Amino acid sequence: MPDPAIRATGVVKWFGEGDARTQALRGVNVDAYFGEMLYIVGPSGSGKTTLLSVLSGILRPDSGSVSVEGSEIWKLGGDKLAEFRLHKIGFVFQDFHLFNRLTTAENVAIPLILKRKPWKEALVEAAKYLDVVGLKGRAELPPVKLSGGEQQRVAIARAIAGQPDILIMDEPTASLDGDPGQGIVGFVKQHVLNEKRCILIVTHDDRISQFATRILKMEDGVLTGAVKGGSE
Amino acid sequence: MKGLFKLAYKLLVNDKAKFTALLVGITFAVFLIIQMTAMFAGTMKRASATVLNLGASMWVMDPAVQTVANTIGMPDYVLDAVRSMHGVSYAVPVYTGGALVKLADGAYQSVTVVGLDDTSLFGRPQLIQGKIEDIYGENAFIVVKDPEFPKLGDPHVGTEFQVNDHRGVIVGIAEVASSGLFGVPTLYTTYERALQYLPNPRFTISYVLVEPKSPADVIRIKQQTQAMGYLALTKGEFIDRITNFYIYQTGMGTNLLIMTVMSFIVGLSISGQTFYTFVLENLDKFGALKAIGAKSRELILMILFQTSFTALTGYGLGIGLCALLIRLARLRLPDYAAMITYWNLALGFVVVVIIAAISSYFGVRKVLRIEPFDIFRG
């Protein structure tokens, strides 16, 4: 087996206090590899999004370790962790979280601007990524003028503009109806996934399972096994 | 970092409704503050007009004098005593008082008469028509061409009128640095003629104008004057004394303070609340930026840039609006007493900085508390 892109070992996460204290992750172990599209599926409240947040460096676990490309991420301080996310992780949020006051190209350019690219240069580069997701002619429009599927593509373009090694997609089909949702995931597999990139998707949409390299099932804070592909 | 600021700028100005509301709040607050303080500064300058126009370095007066208008006559020996003091280069008397002028058309007009030392004419105004030596002519007066000038029927050299039932003739037209506070024209004549024309009490010297030999002599002259039971003030101190009188003994200071505080509260309420709403509405976006990899420091800088940009734009607009209003008011009222000073601008700036700082504080606090995980969780 090659070295994993992400390796999580014994990850535990609690929420709340007192009687309301609940354990969201109960010692999760998982490896994700470059070149694979790994789905984490399971019912609502099973801990999928919590796991994704811990793996991507936005939610600190109570115990356990997460290493990305061999480096333990939760040993990093606040700024270093932000830099890690900026350079290594691309996010596609469930609700997209696009800036309607900016143009589509400016939205896509955000990771580049955070990486201190000059404004004009960032916009030129952003236009290339919009071209990749098939929205070349929409660069100057605000996201609000685009359809749901197009907004999803803008979010994907923004996520890959920073050339991350790991792409995180949270419920990519939840805000889209039917075919567009499946089309987006198929598009990502075809155009975004490559040997140097790992894509993690949280979903409970069975219709897109055909695109997964591996599917892991999560229940009550633990990974219960592989639905598709190898073991966890 | 420039890209980050441009991003902040676009997020701010592209939300036109909020940006307009923010600008209106700050502009209005600055306008009110600058306008109020400009009116105060203008009034104070007018109140000190005689001090500014005569230009003496030091003024000797009765200790009960609070403003240049309420003079208390001093006996002649005070002039002699001051002249004999160590450190005095020269000292001259000056008389100021009110008189009633009867114009050619029979109308009456109150005037202020300034009687200058006959020998030196110290404190004489800059003539724009006529010759200064003509002030020694029979019944001669010099009239100041200021916004009150038309009240004397736009006189010219040779115009005759009556001053307190004495014949008077205009021999010169002059200009001065500042016109008076009370809206009456000003006539200059010699000290002796002023005493003849104006009803006067037992003691006639309004002020003794003093020029010290050196700045180091100022303290010595003050001490010697105080020993006589009188008060010697430098020009600046006298202006401060007049200003303090209006601030603390007429209620003007309290009114000014109340208006300034109200302007601050209005500006802070509108701008602070609007900016807080702006941050709240964009909170998920700031959270998304955090998740993507923006550092807390960068988000704080973005917010500070947004508030600073709005504050400075509103500050400029507020000053511009105030200057425009003063300009327009002067078209209608040439002697409109308002002037924008550096002090006004500094006060307005401080208030704007405080409004921006408080508005930023709440925004920054909110943004720092948002966790990317909350965004992820939806």
- Of A99, A111, A119, which has the smallest distance from its Cβ to B2's Cβ? A119
pLDDT of amino acid A54:
93
Task: Indicate the pLDDT class of residue B71, thresholds 50, 70 and 90.
Answer: confident
Return the residue of B nearest to A107 by Cα: B7
Residue written as token pair 């990502």? A188
Rounded average pLDDT over B129-141:
92
pLDDT of amino acid A176:
65
Chain-chain contact of B7 with A85 (C-beta, under 8 angstroms): no
Rounded average pLDDT over A71-76:
90
Task: Indicate the pLDDT class of residue A136, thresholds 50, 70 and 90.
Answer: confident
DSSP-derived secondary structure for A130-189 = HHHTT-GGGTTS-GGGS-HHHHHHHHHHHHHHT--SEEEEESTTTTS-HHHHHHHHHHHH
Tokens of A105: 């190209």
Chain-chain contact of A78 with B295 (C-beta, under 8 angstroms): yes
Rounded average pLDDT over B297-301:
92
Rounded average pLDDT over B132-159:
91
Tokens of B250: 């007429």
Q: How far is A186 from chain B (nearest CA, A)?
A: 22
Task: Indicate the pLDDT class of residue A132, thresholds 50, 70 and 90.
Answer: confident
Tokens of B203: 């003691």
In angstroms, the CA B24 to CA B314 distance is: 7
- Of B6, B11, B292, which has the smallest distance from its Cβ to A91's Cβ? B292
B293 interfacial to chain A (CB closer than 8 Å): yes
- Angle made by CA atoms A45, A47, A50, in degrees to the nearest 5: 120
pLDDT of amino acid B280:
83
- Of B6, B284, B292, which has the smallest distance from its Cβ to A111's Cβ? B292
Angle between helices B252-281 and B16-47 (to 10 degrees): 170
In angstroms, the CA B321 to CA B348 distance is: 13
Tokens of A213: 């390299």
| Mean per-residue pLDDT of chain B | 89
Which residues on adjacent β-strands are paired with residue B189? B115
A200 has a pLDDT exceeding 50: yes
Q: Characterize B162-198 residue by residue with b for buried, 16 or more Cβ atoms within 10 angstroms of its Cβ, and e for exposed.
A: bbbeeebbbbbbbebebbbbeebbbbbbbbebbbebb
How far is C-alpha B218 from the chain's CA centre? Answer: 26
pLDDT of amino acid A70:
87
Which domains, and CATH codes, for chain A? Answer: 6-228 (3.40.50.300)
pLDDT of amino acid A179:
62
A232 has a pLDDT exceeding 50: no
- Of B11, B296, B373, which has the smallest distance from its Cβ to A102's Cβ? B11
pTM of the model: 0.78
Chain-chain contact of B373 with A58 (C-beta, under 8 angstroms): yes
DSSP-derived secondary structure for B45-88 = HHHTHHHHHH--SEEEE-TT--SSSS---B-HHHHHHHHTSTTE
Rounded average pLDDT over B16-30:
88
B177 has a pLDDT exceeding 70: yes
B251: left (phi over 0), alpha (psi -120 to 50) or beta: left
Q: Indicate the burial class of A210 (C-beta count within 10 angstroms; 0-12, 13-18, 19 or more).
A: exposed
Task: Indicate the pLDDT class of residue B58, thresholds 50, 70 and 90.
Answer: very high
Q: How far is A53 from chain B (nearest CA, A)?
A: 7
The answer to whether residues A57 and A119 touch, using CB atoms and an 8 Å cutoff, is: no
Count of alpha carbons within 13 Å of B366, Cβ hemisphere only? 19
ipTM: 0.86
Q: What is the DSSP letter of A46?
A: S
pLDDT of amino acid A175:
66
Angle between helices B235-249 and B16-47 (to 10 degrees): 120
pLDDT of amino acid B176:
87
Q: Which residues contact B198 (CB under 8 A, 6 or more apart)?
A: B95, B97, B98, B99, B113, B115, B164
Task: Indicate the pLDDT class of residue B179, thresholds 50, 70 and 90.
Answer: confident
CB under 8 Å, gap of 24 or more: what pairs does B240-244 form?
B241/B66, B242/B44, B242/B47, B242/B48, B242/B51, B242/B66, B242/B67, B242/B68, B243/B44, B243/B47, B243/B48
Q: How far is A1 from chain B (nearest CA, A)?
A: 30
pLDDT of amino acid B269:
83
Chain-chain contact of B10 with A101 (C-beta, under 8 angstroms): yes
Rounded average pLDDT over B190-195:
92
The answer to whether residues B30 and B340 touch, using CB atoms and an 8 Å cutoff, is: no
pLDDT of amino acid B155:
92
Chain-chain contact of B288 with A78 (C-beta, under 8 angstroms): no
Q: How far is B322 from chain A (nearest CA, A)?
A: 32
B334 has a pLDDT exceeding 80: no
Chain-chain contact of A49 with B377 (C-beta, under 8 angstroms): yes
In angstroms, the CA A41 to CA A219 distance is: 9
Q: Which phi and psi angles does B249 have, rounded to 5°?
A: -120, 5
Task: Indicate the pLDDT class of residue B205, thresholds 50, 70 and 90.
Answer: very high
Q: How far is A144 from chain B (nearest CA, A)?
A: 13
B16 interfacial to chain A (CB closer than 8 Å): no
- Of A58, A93, A118, which has the smallest distance from its Cβ to B3's Cβ? A118
Name chain B contacts of A57, Cβ cutoff 8 Å.
Answer: none
Tokens of B5: 């600021």
Residue of A13, A15, A53, A165 to mutate for B, most B C-beta atoms under 10 A:
A53
Tokens of A25: 């992750």
A180 has a pLDDT exceeding 70: no
Pairs of CB atoms within 8 A across A/B: 94
Chain-chain contact of B288 with A91 (C-beta, under 8 angstroms): yes
A2 has a pLDDT exceeding 80: no
**In this structure, which amino acid lies at residue B189?**
T
Name chain A contacts of B369, Cβ cutoff 8 Å.
Answer: none
Q: How far is A109 from chain B (nearest CA, A)?
A: 10
B40 has a pLDDT exceeding 90: no
In angstroms, the CA B256 to CA B28 distance is: 16
The answer to whether residues A11 and A64 touch, using CB atoms and an 8 Å cutoff, is: yes
pLDDT tens-digit series, residues A95-125: 888 998 899 999 999 999 999 999 999 999 9
In angstroms, the CA B91 to CA B80 distance is: 9
Name chain A contacts of B378, Cβ cutoff 8 Å.
Answer: 93-95
**Closest by alpha carbon to A97, among A202, A175, A183, A197?**
A175
pLDDT of amino acid B50:
87
Rounded average pLDDT over B278-307:
88
A11 has a pLDDT exceeding 60: yes
DSSP-derived pairing of the beta strands A214-219 and A37-41: parallel
B284 interfacial to chain A (CB closer than 8 Å): yes
- Of B3, B296, B297, which has the smallest distance from its Cβ to A122's Cβ? B3
Q: Which residues contact B221 (CB under 8 A, 6 or more apart)?
A: B58, B82, B85, B87, B88, B210, B212, B232
- Listed by start position, the domains of chain B span 2-46+251-377, 75-229
Tokens of B97: 């008082």
To 10 degrees, the CA torsion angle through A224, A228, A229, A230?
Answer: 20
- Of A49, A87, A110, which has the smallest distance from its Cβ to B376's Cβ? A49
pLDDT tens-digit series, residues A35-62: 999 999 988 888 998 999 999 998 999 9
To 10 degrees, the CA torsion angle through B41, B42, B44, B46?
Answer: 160
Task: Indicate the pLDDT class of residue A229, thresholds 50, 70 and 90.
Answer: low
**Closest by alpha carbon to A47, among A224, A173, A225, A219?**
A219
Rounded average pLDDT over B292-300:
91
Q: How far is B280 from chain A (nearest CA, A)?
A: 14
The answer to whether residues B148 and B335 touch, using CB atoms and an 8 Å cutoff, is: yes
Q: How many helices (H) and strands (E) does chain B have?
A: 12, 10
Return the residue of B nearest to A49 by Cα: B377
Q: How far is B180 from chain A (nearest CA, A)?
A: 55
B142 has a pLDDT exceeding 80: yes
Q: Which residues contact A80 (CB under 8 A, 6 or more apart)?
A: none
Other beta carbons within 10 angstroms of residue B376's beta carbon come to: 24
To 10 degrees, the CA torsion angle through B372, B373, B377, B378?
Answer: -20
